[in-house]
């Protein structure tokens, strides 16, 4: 049930994102006096629609996007002479660029808002100042950054019987109950492979355990415990700072994901996809699946809420940035055409020649169709991978 709820939450969030994207185009087009005849969410057959003023609002049967019908988007469109002054193509270049960029702008604003909510509304996860154990590591990994494998030995904490919720009081006779940092120093002072006495407080009683500490590559003596975490709400100023920094980090991450896409494709159907570049890319189907897994996980509501909002924020940043790439038929491609037209007109004016006019979209149709076909092909490949070889989060 939790998994299904997660998928539903993601789908609803996606539809809201689409509506906000189209609302950005719609609001700016109206602001500049352009004629907008349709505002629809989805594609395909119309499920419901109503007309208010000159605009028809509605919902289509396939919830895979949305669109605005702005009169005169290109020179190829036939426009009623009475509507020509209000057509998109007759407006100044800067107005057209704002209208085209408004969709991605709305994705970015939504992401910033969600990141602010994470910090100010739910709280950021931080380590507790006490020596309360939050989790027991399953193994001693061969590489600290790698997940456990069947060949990795169990962690000393797991072997000794430490539990999440235990409060570590002393290690080898050294009191460590004041802080996690104090405990870390005590552990690093021990010799790997030798047993040591660990006293913990469990359900109001002291329990003595005798783990044999291990050696973790590059880290030294290792017990295998993780601190208990707490969620602390940030002040509005701190939350704004967090949202801005996290937004920028996600934007850079989106660029890296896009750049690594060719390298990721061969790993989409590999058995260890999650640990390869193929695990860094996913479709809407995969993102919905991961959201469902988060809600199904055996963790408290706060990390669940944080993770879901971070997934949705990350998706919006990726979609917003990707949509601005200078490739038709995306908005960034149309922006590039407007910039080209204005640059060409400026050069002609400097040379004392008339404005060459709008770009010939007929020459751009093959490029647009090719890019669209490539995107559809990659999208279908990602969907197939997410269905046949889904990513399972730990």
Does residue 169 belong to any structural domain of this protein?
Answer: yes
Does residue 104 belong to any structural domain of this protein?
Answer: no
DSSP per position, 323-345: HTSS-TTSHHHHHHHHHHHHHHH
Work out how many domains the chain is built from and give that number. 1
Residues paired with residue 60 on neighbouring β-strands, in sequence order: 46
Name which of 110-119, 208-217, 256-265 the model is least confident about. Answer: 256-265
Does residue 191 belong to any structural domain of this protein?
Answer: yes
Does residue 383 belong to any structural domain of this protein?
Answer: no
Which positions ≥6 away from 87 have C-beta within 8 Å?
A: 34, 35, 71, 72, 79
Model pLDDT, residue 241 = 96
Q: Given a cut of 60, is residue 394 above it in pLDDT?
A: no
DSSP per position, 125-175: EEE-SS-BEEEE--B--SSTTSPP-TTSPBPHHHHHT--TT-EEEEETTEE
Please list the active-site residues: 22
Structure confidence by residue, pLDDT tens digits, 238-247: 999 999 999 9
Q: At what angle do helices 331-350 and 361-388 cross, to 10 degrees?
A: 160
Model pLDDT, residue 2 = 63
Does residue 205 belong to any structural domain of this protein?
Answer: yes
Model pLDDT, residue 1 = 61
Q: Per-residue pLDDT averaged across 341-365, rounded?
A: 85
Q: Give the CATH number, domain containing residue 183.
A: 2.30.42.10
Structure confidence by residue, pLDDT tens digits, 139-150: 888 777 667 778
CB atoms within 10 A of CB 40: 20
Model pLDDT, residue 190 = 85
Q: Report CA dihedral (79, 80, 86, 90) to the nearest 10 degrees.
A: 40
Q: Given a cut of 70, is residue 174 above it in pLDDT?
A: yes
pLDDT band at 362 (very low <50, low <70, confident <90, very high): confident
Does residue 270 belong to any structural domain of this protein?
Answer: no
Model pLDDT, residue 87 = 93
Q: Per-residue pLDDT averaged across 381-393, rounded?
A: 79
Model pLDDT, residue 323 = 92
Q: Per-residue pLDDT averaged across 298-320, rounded?
A: 88
Structure confidence by residue, pLDDT tens digits, 185-205: 888 888 888 888 889 889 989
Does residue 53 belong to any structural domain of this protein?
Answer: no
Structure confidence by residue, pLDDT tens digits, 48-82: 999 999 999 998 888 777 888 999 988 888 889 99
pLDDT band at 278 (very low <50, low <70, confident <90, very high): low
3 state DSSP class of 124: strand
Does residue 175 belong to any structural domain of this protein?
Answer: yes
What domain range includes position 166?
Answer: 133-227
pLDDT band at 257 (very low <50, low <70, confident <90, very high): confident
pTM recorded for the entire structure: 0.79
Query: Using CA atoms, how far apart are residues 266 and 275, in angstroms rounded to an integer?
Result: 13
């Amino acid at each position: 049930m939790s998994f299904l709820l997660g998928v539903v939450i993601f789908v609803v969030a996606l539809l809201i994102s689409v509506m906000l994207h189209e609302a950005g185009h719609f609001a700016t087009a109206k602001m500049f006096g352009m004629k907008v005849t349709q505002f629809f969410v989805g594609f395909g057959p119309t499920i419901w629609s109503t007309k208010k003023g000159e605009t028809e609002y509605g919902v289509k049967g396939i919830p895979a996007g949305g669109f605005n019908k702005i009169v005169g988007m290109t020179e190829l469109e036939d426009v009623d002479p009475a509507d020509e002054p209000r057509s998109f193509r007759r407006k100044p270049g800067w107005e057209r660029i704002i209208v085209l960029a408004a969709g991605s702008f709305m994705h970015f604003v939504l992401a910033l808002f969600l990141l602010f909510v994470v910090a100010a509304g739910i709280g950021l996860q931080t380590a507790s100042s006490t020596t309360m154990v939050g989790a027991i590591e399953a193994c001693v990994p061969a590489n600290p950054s790698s997940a456990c494998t069947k060949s990795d030995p169990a962690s000393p904490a797991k072997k000794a019987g430490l539990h999440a919720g235990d409060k570590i009081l002393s290690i080898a006779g050294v009191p460590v109950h004041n802080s996690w940092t104090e405990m870390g120093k005590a552990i690093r002072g021990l010799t790997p492979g030798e047993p040591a006495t660990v006293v913990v407080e469990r359900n109001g009683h002291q329990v003595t355990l005798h783990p044999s500490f291990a050696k973790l590559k590059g880290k030294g003596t290792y017990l295998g415990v993780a601190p208990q975490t707490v969620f602390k709400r940030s002040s509005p100023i701190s939350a704004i700072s967090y949202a801005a920094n996290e937004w920028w980090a996600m934007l850079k991450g989106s660029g890296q994901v896009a750049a690594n896409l060719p390298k990721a494709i061969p790993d989409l159907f590999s058995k260890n996809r999650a640990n390869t570049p193929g695990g860094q890319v996913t479709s809407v189907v995969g993102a919905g699946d991961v959201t469902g897994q988060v809600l199904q996980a055996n963790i408290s509501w706060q990390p669940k809420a944080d993770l879901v909002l971070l997934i949705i924020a990350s998706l919006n940043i990726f979609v917003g940035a990707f949509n601005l790439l200078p490739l038709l038929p995306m908005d960034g491609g149309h922006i590039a055409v407007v910039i080209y037209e204005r640059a060409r007109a400026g050069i002609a004016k400097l040379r004392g020649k008339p404005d060459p006019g709008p770009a010939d979209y007929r020459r751009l149709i093959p490029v647009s169709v090719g890019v669209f076909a490539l995107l559809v092909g990659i999208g279908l490949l990602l969907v197939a991978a997410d269905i046949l070889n889904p990513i399972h989060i730990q």
